[in-house]
Amino acid sequence: MKTAAFHTLGCRVNAYETEAMQEQLKRDGYVIVPFSEKADVYIINTCTVTHIADRKSRQMLHRARRMNPDALIIAAGCYVEDAGEELLSSGDADLLIGNADKASLAGIIRAHREGRPEETRFLKHCARPDYGPLFITETEGRTRAFLKIEDGCNQFCSYCVIPYVRGRVRSRRAEDVLAEAERLLAGGFQELVLTGIHVSSYGLDLREPGRNLRTPEAREAETNRELLSLVRSVASLPGIRRLRFGSLEPGIMTEEFVRALSEIPVICPQFHLSLQSGCDATLQRMRRRYDTAAYEEIVGRLRAAFSNPAIATDIIAGFPGETEEEFAETVAFVKRIGFEKTHIFPYSERKGTKAADMPGRVAAEVRRQRSEVLIDLDIRNHRRYAEGFLGREVEVLFEERKRVDGIVKNAGHTREMLLACAASAQDLTGQLIKCRVTSVTEAGGLLVTPSADT
Protein backbone atom coordinates (compact mmCIF):
# COMPACT_ATOMS: atom_id res chain seq x y z
CA MET A 1 0.00 0.00 0.00
CA LYS A 2 1.52 3.33 -1.12
CA THR A 3 0.96 6.28 1.20
CA ALA A 4 1.23 10.01 0.61
CA ALA A 5 0.95 12.99 2.94
CA PHE A 6 0.33 16.64 2.04
CA HIS A 7 0.93 19.92 3.81
CA THR A 8 -0.43 23.18 2.41
CA LEU A 9 0.85 26.70 3.07
CA GLY A 10 -0.61 29.95 1.84
CA CYS A 11 -3.83 30.84 0.10
CA ARG A 12 -7.14 29.20 -0.75
CA VAL A 13 -5.87 28.56 -4.27
CA ASN A 14 -3.11 26.41 -2.82
CA ALA A 15 -5.68 24.58 -0.69
CA TYR A 16 -7.77 23.88 -3.78
CA GLU A 17 -4.75 22.66 -5.72
CA THR A 18 -3.72 20.37 -2.88
CA GLU A 19 -7.14 18.71 -3.04
CA ALA A 20 -6.71 18.26 -6.80
CA MET A 21 -3.27 16.69 -6.32
CA GLN A 22 -4.57 14.39 -3.58
CA GLU A 23 -7.27 13.22 -5.94
CA GLN A 24 -4.66 12.40 -8.59
CA LEU A 25 -2.67 10.24 -6.19
CA LYS A 26 -5.79 8.43 -4.96
CA ARG A 27 -6.56 7.49 -8.57
CA ASP A 28 -2.98 6.26 -8.86
CA GLY A 29 -3.42 3.88 -5.92
CA TYR A 30 -2.12 5.98 -3.02
CA VAL A 31 -3.72 6.20 0.40
CA ILE A 32 -3.62 9.78 1.74
CA VAL A 33 -2.48 9.92 5.38
CA PRO A 34 -2.09 12.84 7.81
CA PHE A 35 1.16 14.78 7.43
CA SER A 36 2.11 13.84 10.99
CA GLU A 37 2.29 10.14 10.03
CA LYS A 38 5.02 8.17 8.28
CA ALA A 39 4.44 8.16 4.53
CA ASP A 40 6.16 6.99 1.34
CA VAL A 41 5.74 10.40 -0.30
CA TYR A 42 5.46 13.86 1.27
CA ILE A 43 4.23 16.77 -0.82
CA ILE A 44 4.61 20.28 0.61
CA ASN A 45 2.55 22.80 -1.36
CA THR A 46 4.62 25.91 -0.63
CA CYS A 47 4.02 29.66 -0.46
CA THR A 48 6.38 32.59 -0.99
CA VAL A 49 4.22 35.66 -0.37
CA THR A 50 6.39 36.65 2.65
CA HIS A 51 9.74 35.63 4.11
CA ILE A 52 7.79 33.89 6.89
CA ALA A 53 6.07 31.74 4.25
CA ASP A 54 9.49 30.87 2.79
CA ARG A 55 10.75 29.82 6.22
CA LYS A 56 7.67 27.72 6.95
CA SER A 57 8.01 26.01 3.58
CA ARG A 58 11.59 24.98 4.38
CA GLN A 59 10.63 23.91 7.89
CA MET A 60 7.94 21.57 6.61
CA LEU A 61 10.37 20.02 4.10
CA HIS A 62 12.84 19.40 6.95
CA ARG A 63 10.07 17.96 9.11
CA ALA A 64 9.07 15.50 6.38
CA ARG A 65 12.68 14.38 6.00
CA ARG A 66 12.93 13.74 9.73
CA MET A 67 9.70 11.73 9.83
CA ASN A 68 10.90 9.34 7.12
CA PRO A 69 14.44 9.76 5.75
CA ASP A 70 13.65 7.19 3.04
CA ALA A 71 10.55 8.98 1.76
CA LEU A 72 10.28 10.88 -1.51
CA ILE A 73 10.13 14.57 -0.53
CA ILE A 74 8.41 16.82 -3.06
CA ALA A 75 8.31 20.61 -2.95
CA ALA A 76 5.47 22.11 -5.00
CA GLY A 77 4.10 25.56 -5.69
CA CYS A 78 5.15 29.18 -5.42
CA TYR A 79 8.31 28.94 -3.29
CA VAL A 80 9.56 26.32 -5.74
CA GLU A 81 9.16 28.82 -8.57
CA ASP A 82 11.50 31.20 -6.75
CA ALA A 83 13.99 28.88 -5.00
CA GLY A 84 13.56 25.47 -6.58
CA GLU A 85 17.12 24.75 -7.65
CA GLU A 86 18.35 25.77 -4.21
CA LEU A 87 15.97 23.25 -2.62
CA LEU A 88 17.35 20.49 -4.85
CA SER A 89 21.00 21.32 -4.29
CA SER A 90 20.55 21.55 -0.52
CA GLY A 91 18.81 18.18 -0.40
CA ASP A 92 15.66 19.68 1.12
CA ALA A 93 13.59 18.22 -1.74
CA ASP A 94 13.97 15.25 -4.08
CA LEU A 95 11.56 16.53 -6.72
CA LEU A 96 10.18 19.94 -7.69
CA ILE A 97 6.65 20.51 -8.94
CA GLY A 98 6.07 24.00 -10.33
CA ASN A 99 2.64 25.56 -10.56
CA ALA A 100 2.50 24.56 -14.23
CA ASP A 101 2.90 20.88 -13.38
CA LYS A 102 0.64 20.28 -10.40
CA ALA A 103 -1.80 18.53 -12.72
CA SER A 104 1.00 16.08 -13.66
CA LEU A 105 2.05 15.14 -10.12
CA ALA A 106 1.13 11.44 -10.34
CA GLY A 107 2.89 10.98 -13.67
CA ILE A 108 6.03 12.76 -12.46
CA ILE A 109 6.22 10.51 -9.39
CA ARG A 110 5.84 7.42 -11.60
CA ALA A 111 8.57 8.66 -13.94
CA HIS A 112 10.88 9.21 -10.96
CA ARG A 113 10.20 5.74 -9.59
CA GLU A 114 10.81 4.18 -13.01
CA GLY A 115 14.08 6.02 -13.64
CA ARG A 116 12.92 8.43 -16.36
CA PRO A 117 14.48 11.71 -15.19
CA GLU A 118 13.74 13.51 -18.45
CA GLU A 119 10.04 13.38 -17.49
CA THR A 120 10.59 14.85 -14.03
CA ARG A 121 12.18 18.13 -15.11
CA PHE A 122 11.03 21.23 -13.30
CA LEU A 123 8.88 23.53 -15.43
CA LYS A 124 8.12 27.04 -14.23
CA HIS A 125 4.69 28.65 -14.51
CA CYS A 126 5.60 30.32 -17.80
CA ALA A 127 5.71 26.92 -19.46
CA ARG A 128 1.89 26.89 -19.46
CA PRO A 129 0.11 29.68 -21.37
CA ASP A 130 -3.40 28.45 -20.53
CA TYR A 131 -5.31 27.58 -17.35
CA GLY A 132 -4.29 23.92 -17.43
CA PRO A 133 -6.11 20.68 -16.58
CA LEU A 134 -6.20 20.99 -12.78
CA PHE A 135 -9.63 20.15 -11.37
CA ILE A 136 -11.51 18.46 -8.54
CA THR A 137 -14.26 15.87 -8.87
CA GLU A 138 -14.90 15.28 -5.16
CA THR A 139 -14.46 17.20 -1.93
CA GLU A 140 -14.88 15.62 1.46
CA GLY A 141 -16.03 16.74 4.88
CA ARG A 142 -17.27 20.28 4.33
CA THR A 143 -20.43 22.19 3.51
CA ARG A 144 -18.55 24.93 1.64
CA ALA A 145 -16.47 24.24 -1.47
CA PHE A 146 -13.86 26.40 -3.18
CA LEU A 147 -14.09 26.61 -6.94
CA LYS A 148 -11.01 27.87 -8.75
CA ILE A 149 -11.84 29.94 -11.84
CA GLU A 150 -8.54 31.62 -12.70
CA ASP A 151 -4.78 31.59 -12.19
CA GLY A 152 -2.11 34.30 -12.43
CA CYS A 153 -2.06 38.08 -12.12
CA ASN A 154 -1.20 40.97 -14.46
CA GLN A 155 -1.14 43.77 -11.87
CA PHE A 156 2.55 43.80 -10.80
CA CYS A 157 2.08 45.80 -7.62
CA SER A 158 5.48 46.97 -6.45
CA TYR A 159 5.58 44.74 -3.33
CA CYS A 160 4.21 41.51 -4.80
CA VAL A 161 6.10 38.49 -6.14
CA ILE A 162 2.99 36.55 -7.16
CA PRO A 163 2.93 37.54 -10.88
CA TYR A 164 6.51 36.25 -11.10
CA VAL A 165 5.74 32.86 -9.52
CA ARG A 166 2.19 32.34 -10.83
CA GLY A 167 2.44 33.97 -14.23
CA ARG A 168 -0.07 36.04 -16.15
CA VAL A 169 -3.85 35.75 -15.97
CA ARG A 170 -5.19 32.46 -17.32
CA SER A 171 -8.96 32.07 -17.08
CA ARG A 172 -10.70 28.74 -16.82
CA ARG A 173 -13.30 28.00 -19.47
CA ALA A 174 -16.82 28.68 -18.23
CA GLU A 175 -18.03 25.22 -19.23
CA ASP A 176 -15.31 23.62 -17.09
CA VAL A 177 -16.19 25.82 -14.11
CA LEU A 178 -19.87 24.95 -14.44
CA ALA A 179 -19.16 21.23 -14.77
CA GLU A 180 -17.15 21.25 -11.54
CA ALA A 181 -19.79 23.37 -9.79
CA GLU A 182 -22.49 20.88 -10.79
CA ARG A 183 -20.44 17.99 -9.39
CA LEU A 184 -19.92 19.81 -6.10
CA LEU A 185 -23.59 20.70 -5.74
CA ALA A 186 -24.63 17.15 -6.62
CA GLY A 187 -22.30 16.02 -3.82
CA GLY A 188 -24.32 17.99 -1.28
CA PHE A 189 -22.48 21.31 -1.08
CA GLN A 190 -24.75 24.32 -0.72
CA GLU A 191 -22.17 27.11 -0.78
CA LEU A 192 -19.50 27.76 -3.40
CA VAL A 193 -16.61 30.24 -3.18
CA LEU A 194 -15.17 31.49 -6.48
CA THR A 195 -11.44 31.73 -5.97
CA GLY A 196 -8.27 32.42 -7.93
CA ILE A 197 -5.05 34.38 -7.75
CA HIS A 198 -6.80 37.50 -9.10
CA VAL A 199 -10.51 36.72 -9.43
CA SER A 200 -11.32 40.25 -10.60
CA SER A 201 -9.28 39.66 -13.77
CA TYR A 202 -11.31 36.62 -14.82
CA GLY A 203 -11.93 36.75 -18.54
CA LEU A 204 -9.42 39.45 -19.49
CA ASP A 205 -7.43 36.89 -21.47
CA LEU A 206 -10.62 35.53 -23.02
CA ARG A 207 -11.70 38.98 -24.19
CA GLU A 208 -8.45 39.78 -26.01
CA PRO A 209 -6.25 36.65 -26.27
CA GLY A 210 -2.54 37.37 -26.17
CA ARG A 211 -2.86 40.76 -24.45
CA ASN A 212 -1.88 41.13 -20.82
CA LEU A 213 -4.65 43.49 -19.79
CA ARG A 214 -4.83 44.96 -16.29
CA THR A 215 -8.05 45.11 -14.30
CA PRO A 216 -9.24 48.72 -14.83
CA GLU A 217 -10.26 51.20 -12.16
CA ALA A 218 -13.92 51.25 -11.17
CA ARG A 219 -14.48 54.85 -12.21
CA GLU A 220 -13.22 54.06 -15.73
CA ALA A 221 -14.18 50.43 -16.20
CA GLU A 222 -16.89 48.71 -18.11
CA THR A 223 -18.40 45.93 -16.06
CA ASN A 224 -16.36 42.75 -16.23
CA ARG A 225 -18.80 40.98 -18.53
CA GLU A 226 -17.06 37.62 -18.43
CA LEU A 227 -16.98 37.41 -14.64
CA LEU A 228 -20.56 38.59 -14.28
CA SER A 229 -21.72 36.11 -16.91
CA LEU A 230 -19.95 33.29 -15.09
CA VAL A 231 -21.42 34.36 -11.73
CA ARG A 232 -24.94 34.39 -13.16
CA SER A 233 -24.45 30.93 -14.68
CA VAL A 234 -23.14 29.42 -11.43
CA ALA A 235 -25.86 31.16 -9.41
CA SER A 236 -28.56 29.57 -11.58
CA LEU A 237 -27.43 25.96 -11.01
CA PRO A 238 -29.87 23.68 -9.15
CA GLY A 239 -28.98 23.16 -5.50
CA ILE A 240 -26.89 26.26 -4.90
CA ARG A 241 -27.90 28.24 -1.82
CA ARG A 242 -24.93 30.56 -1.42
CA LEU A 243 -22.24 32.02 -3.66
CA ARG A 244 -19.36 34.23 -2.54
CA PHE A 245 -16.02 35.47 -3.82
CA GLY A 246 -12.45 35.24 -2.65
CA SER A 247 -10.47 38.49 -2.63
CA LEU A 248 -11.64 41.11 -5.14
CA GLU A 249 -9.94 44.14 -6.62
CA PRO A 250 -11.81 47.41 -6.06
CA GLY A 251 -11.39 48.09 -9.79
CA ILE A 252 -14.35 45.98 -10.92
CA MET A 253 -16.89 47.42 -8.50
CA THR A 254 -18.72 49.68 -10.93
CA GLU A 255 -22.29 50.76 -10.16
CA GLU A 256 -23.49 48.37 -12.84
CA PHE A 257 -21.50 45.44 -11.47
CA VAL A 258 -22.58 46.02 -7.86
CA ARG A 259 -26.21 46.45 -8.87
CA ALA A 260 -26.08 43.22 -10.88
CA LEU A 261 -24.63 41.30 -7.92
CA SER A 262 -27.30 42.69 -5.58
CA GLU A 263 -29.98 41.25 -7.89
CA ILE A 264 -28.62 37.68 -7.55
CA PRO A 265 -30.28 36.18 -4.43
CA VAL A 266 -27.56 33.63 -3.64
CA ILE A 267 -24.72 36.21 -3.56
CA CYS A 268 -23.47 36.56 0.01
CA PRO A 269 -23.05 40.14 1.29
CA GLN A 270 -19.41 39.61 2.19
CA PHE A 271 -16.69 41.24 0.10
CA HIS A 272 -12.93 41.11 0.59
CA LEU A 273 -11.69 44.24 -1.17
CA SER A 274 -7.92 44.53 -1.28
CA LEU A 275 -6.71 47.90 0.08
CA GLN A 276 -3.07 47.56 1.37
CA SER A 277 -2.84 51.14 2.68
CA GLY A 278 -5.11 53.98 3.73
CA CYS A 279 -2.59 56.59 2.57
CA ASP A 280 -2.65 57.85 -1.03
CA ALA A 281 1.10 58.46 -1.21
CA THR A 282 1.79 54.91 -0.05
CA LEU A 283 -0.75 53.52 -2.52
CA GLN A 284 1.14 55.26 -5.32
CA ARG A 285 4.44 53.68 -4.26
CA MET A 286 2.67 50.33 -4.09
CA ARG A 287 1.43 50.84 -7.67
CA ARG A 288 -2.17 50.36 -6.60
CA ARG A 289 -4.50 51.82 -9.19
CA TYR A 290 -6.97 53.69 -6.97
CA ASP A 291 -6.88 56.22 -4.16
CA THR A 292 -8.64 56.25 -0.81
CA ALA A 293 -11.47 58.44 -2.10
CA ALA A 294 -12.28 55.96 -4.86
CA TYR A 295 -12.06 53.07 -2.41
CA GLU A 296 -14.40 54.77 0.05
CA GLU A 297 -16.86 55.48 -2.76
CA ILE A 298 -16.86 51.77 -3.69
CA VAL A 299 -17.53 50.74 -0.08
CA GLY A 300 -20.44 53.19 0.01
CA ARG A 301 -21.75 51.68 -3.21
CA LEU A 302 -21.74 48.20 -1.68
CA ARG A 303 -23.39 49.38 1.53
CA ALA A 304 -26.14 51.07 -0.47
CA ALA A 305 -26.79 47.92 -2.50
CA PHE A 306 -26.60 45.32 0.30
CA SER A 307 -27.97 45.31 3.84
CA ASN A 308 -25.05 45.70 6.27
CA PRO A 309 -22.47 43.87 4.10
CA ALA A 310 -19.24 42.59 5.62
CA ILE A 311 -16.29 44.46 4.10
CA ALA A 312 -12.90 42.84 4.68
CA THR A 313 -9.47 43.90 3.46
CA ASP A 314 -5.68 43.52 3.66
CA ILE A 315 -3.21 46.08 5.01
CA ILE A 316 0.59 46.07 4.72
CA ALA A 317 2.27 47.76 7.68
CA GLY A 318 5.64 49.43 7.30
CA PHE A 319 5.90 49.63 3.51
CA PRO A 320 9.16 51.32 2.36
CA GLY A 321 8.93 55.07 2.88
CA GLU A 322 5.91 54.87 5.19
CA THR A 323 6.28 57.71 7.68
CA GLU A 324 4.51 58.02 11.02
CA GLU A 325 2.17 60.54 9.39
CA GLU A 326 1.36 58.17 6.53
CA PHE A 327 0.72 55.31 8.94
CA ALA A 328 -1.59 57.59 10.93
CA GLU A 329 -3.55 58.20 7.71
CA THR A 330 -3.99 54.45 7.31
CA VAL A 331 -5.21 54.06 10.90
CA ALA A 332 -7.68 56.91 10.44
CA PHE A 333 -8.96 55.42 7.17
CA VAL A 334 -9.44 51.95 8.70
CA LYS A 335 -11.40 53.54 11.55
CA ARG A 336 -13.55 55.54 9.15
CA ILE A 337 -14.42 52.59 6.91
CA GLY A 338 -15.12 50.24 9.83
CA PHE A 339 -14.02 46.99 8.21
CA GLU A 340 -15.57 43.75 9.42
CA LYS A 341 -12.15 42.11 9.14
CA THR A 342 -8.68 43.47 8.40
CA HIS A 343 -5.84 41.07 7.60
CA ILE A 344 -2.56 42.67 8.70
CA PHE A 345 0.84 41.88 7.19
CA PRO A 346 4.13 43.51 8.16
CA TYR A 347 5.92 44.43 4.95
CA SER A 348 8.13 41.58 3.73
CA GLU A 349 10.82 42.27 1.14
CA ARG A 350 10.53 40.09 -1.96
CA LYS A 351 13.54 40.00 -4.26
CA GLY A 352 12.81 41.01 -7.82
CA THR A 353 10.00 43.38 -6.91
CA LYS A 354 10.19 47.17 -7.30
CA ALA A 355 9.69 47.74 -3.58
CA ALA A 356 12.77 45.68 -2.71
CA ASP A 357 14.95 48.49 -4.12
CA MET A 358 12.98 51.39 -2.68
CA PRO A 359 14.63 53.75 -0.17
CA GLY A 360 13.19 54.44 3.25
CA ARG A 361 13.23 50.93 4.68
CA VAL A 362 11.13 50.77 7.85
CA ALA A 363 12.77 48.96 10.77
CA ALA A 364 11.40 45.51 11.54
CA GLU A 365 10.47 46.52 15.08
CA VAL A 366 8.50 49.50 13.78
CA ARG A 367 6.69 47.26 11.28
CA ARG A 368 5.78 44.94 14.14
CA GLN A 369 4.53 47.80 16.32
CA ARG A 370 2.41 49.23 13.52
CA SER A 371 0.97 45.77 12.84
CA GLU A 372 -0.05 45.47 16.50
CA VAL A 373 -1.84 48.82 16.35
CA LEU A 374 -3.84 47.65 13.34
CA ILE A 375 -4.55 44.24 14.88
CA ASP A 376 -5.99 45.90 17.99
CA LEU A 377 -8.14 48.11 15.76
CA ASP A 378 -9.29 45.08 13.78
CA ILE A 379 -10.44 43.30 16.95
CA ARG A 380 -12.55 46.33 17.94
CA ASN A 381 -13.97 46.80 14.44
CA HIS A 382 -14.89 43.13 14.11
CA ARG A 383 -16.69 43.02 17.44
CA ARG A 384 -18.52 46.28 16.70
CA TYR A 385 -19.72 44.86 13.38
CA ALA A 386 -20.86 41.60 15.01
CA GLU A 387 -22.75 43.50 17.73
CA GLY A 388 -24.83 45.11 14.99
CA PHE A 389 -26.59 41.74 14.59
CA LEU A 390 -27.72 41.45 18.23
CA GLY A 391 -31.41 40.57 18.35
CA ARG A 392 -31.58 40.14 14.59
CA GLU A 393 -32.38 37.09 12.54
CA VAL A 394 -29.52 35.62 10.52
CA GLU A 395 -29.17 32.64 8.21
CA VAL A 396 -26.57 30.12 9.39
CA LEU A 397 -25.10 27.27 7.38
CA PHE A 398 -24.03 24.83 10.09
CA GLU A 399 -20.79 23.05 9.29
CA GLU A 400 -19.72 21.04 12.34
CA ARG A 401 -20.32 20.18 15.98
CA LYS A 402 -17.59 21.18 18.37
CA ARG A 403 -16.97 21.77 22.07
CA VAL A 404 -17.06 25.45 23.05
CA ASP A 405 -16.53 26.38 26.71
CA GLY A 406 -17.23 22.79 27.70
CA ILE A 407 -20.54 22.65 25.81
CA VAL A 408 -21.10 20.81 22.53
CA LYS A 409 -22.44 23.31 20.01
CA ASN A 410 -23.30 23.44 16.33
CA ALA A 411 -20.98 25.87 14.56
CA GLY A 412 -21.36 27.51 11.18
CA HIS A 413 -21.28 30.84 9.38
CA THR A 414 -23.76 33.52 8.41
CA ARG A 415 -24.06 34.93 4.92
CA GLU A 416 -21.70 37.67 6.14
CA MET A 417 -19.15 34.95 7.11
CA LEU A 418 -19.53 35.59 10.83
CA LEU A 419 -18.93 32.54 13.02
CA ALA A 420 -22.17 31.47 14.71
CA CYS A 421 -22.70 28.81 17.41
CA ALA A 422 -25.95 27.24 18.64
CA ALA A 423 -26.29 24.97 21.66
CA SER A 424 -28.53 22.10 20.54
CA ALA A 425 -28.75 18.39 21.25
CA GLN A 426 -29.62 17.94 17.59
CA ASP A 427 -26.83 17.72 14.99
CA LEU A 428 -27.52 20.59 12.58
CA THR A 429 -24.51 19.96 10.31
CA GLY A 430 -25.31 20.68 6.68
CA GLN A 431 -28.52 22.58 7.45
CA LEU A 432 -29.24 26.17 6.47
CA ILE A 433 -31.29 27.60 9.33
CA LYS A 434 -32.73 30.97 10.33
CA CYS A 435 -31.48 31.90 13.80
CA ARG A 436 -31.84 34.73 16.30
CA VAL A 437 -28.63 36.33 17.59
CA THR A 438 -28.72 36.33 21.40
CA SER A 439 -25.21 37.50 22.28
CA VAL A 440 -21.75 38.23 20.92
CA THR A 441 -18.57 36.67 22.29
CA GLU A 442 -15.47 38.66 23.22
CA ALA A 443 -13.88 37.51 19.95
CA GLY A 444 -16.86 38.67 17.90
CA GLY A 445 -18.57 35.33 17.35
CA LEU A 446 -22.35 35.09 17.40
CA LEU A 447 -24.31 32.94 19.83
CA VAL A 448 -27.61 32.08 18.17
CA THR A 449 -30.86 30.24 18.77
CA PRO A 450 -32.69 28.56 15.86
CA SER A 451 -35.90 30.45 15.13
CA ALA A 452 -39.16 28.78 16.19
CA ASP A 453 -40.38 28.39 12.61
CA THR A 454 -37.33 26.36 11.48
pLDDT, block means (10 residues), the chain with 454 residues: 95 94 95 96 96 95 96 95 88 92 92 86 66 77 88 94 91 95 93 96 83 76 87 98 95 94 98 97 96 97 97 98 98 98 97 95 98 98 97 96 81 97 89 96 94 66
Count up the domains in the chain and report the number: 3
Give me the phi and psi of 263, to 5 degrees please: -90, 0
Provide the CATH number for the domain around residue 108: 3.40.50.12160
Q: Do 348 and 403 fall within a single domain? A: no
Q: Do 321 and 418 fall within a single domain? A: no
Q: What's the CA dihedral at 216, 221, 222, 228 to 10 degrees?
A: 60
Per-residue pLDDT at 82:
86
Residue 138 lies in a domain: no
| Sheet of strand 247-248: strand arrangement | 247-248, 270-273, 310-317, 341-346
The total of other beta-carbon atoms located within 10 Å of residue 6's CB is 21
Q: Do 53 and 81 fall within a single domain? A: yes
Q: Do 190 and 326 fall within a single domain? A: yes
Per-residue pLDDT at 118:
77
Q: Do 316 and 196 fall within a single domain? A: yes
Residue 133 lies in a domain: no
User: Is-above-0.85 flag for pTM?
Assistant: yes
Looking at 387, 405, 423, the residue that finishes a domain is 387
Residue 132 lies in a domain: no
Per-residue pLDDT at 128:
60
Per-residue pLDDT at 69:
96
Q: Do 29 and 158 fall within a single domain? A: no
Non-local (6+) Cβ contacts of 409 within 8 A are 401, 402, 403, 421, 422, 423, 424
Q: Do 364 and 420 fall within a single domain? A: no
Per-residue pLDDT at 59:
97
Per-residue pLDDT at 249:
93
Looking at 350, 369, 387, the residue that finishes a domain is 387
Q: Do 412 and 432 fall within a single domain? A: yes
Q: Do 428 and 370 fall within a single domain? A: no
SS3 content of the chain, % helix, strand, coil (to 5): 40, 25, 40
Residue 219 lies in a domain: yes
Domain that holds residue 52: 2-127
Residue 311 lies in a domain: yes
Looking at 387, 406, 421, the residue that finishes a domain is 387
Q: Do 371 and 398 fall within a single domain? A: no
Q: Do 359 and 397 fall within a single domain? A: no
Q: Do 337 and 352 fall within a single domain? A: yes
Residue 335 lies in a domain: yes
3 state SS for 254-319: CHHHHHHHHCCCCECCEEEECCECCCHHHHHHHCCCCCHHHHHHHHHHHHHHCCCCEEEEEEEECC
The total of other beta-carbon atoms located within 10 Å of residue 375's CB is 14
